[in-house]
């Protein structure tokens, strides 16, 4: 009994320190923090599928640009052969 009375102030200080600094969390707090982290990640980063879709769109634009370029070059070449 004397040991408990001797260490009681230290135990109370330790408990208060743990509570004030939130060293241990409840499962609900952990789930809330996890959800917050996922929301932050969703706002900052894109997925691989989004990158793939964007790359496919860029490739499509490149192909169409190349076709337009080829048509312009062909018409310019045809125009120069008719003048000669």
Average pLDDT over residues 47-70: 95
pLDDT, position 82: 67
Q: Is the pLDDT of residue 81 over 80?
A: no
pLDDT, position 33: 93
Q: Is the pLDDT of residue 7 over 80?
A: yes
Q: Is the pLDDT of residue 56 over 90?
A: yes
pLDDT, position 61: 97
Distances, alpha carbon 80 to alpha carbons 67, 69, 74, 76, 84, in Å: 20, 16, 10, 6, 6
Reduced to 3 states (helix: H, G, I; strand: E, B; else coil), residue 54 is helix
């Amino acid at each position: 009994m004397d040991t408990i009375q001797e260490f009681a102030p230290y135990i109370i200080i330790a408990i208060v320190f743990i509570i004030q600094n939130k060293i241990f969390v409840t499962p609900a707090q952990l789930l809330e923090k996890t959800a917050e982290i996922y929301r932050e990640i969703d706002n900052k980063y894109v997925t691989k599928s989004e990158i793939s879709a964007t790359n496919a769109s860029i490739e499509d634009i490149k192909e169409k640009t190349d076709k337009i370029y080829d048509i312009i070059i062909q018409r310019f070449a045809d125009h120069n052969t008719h003048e000669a």
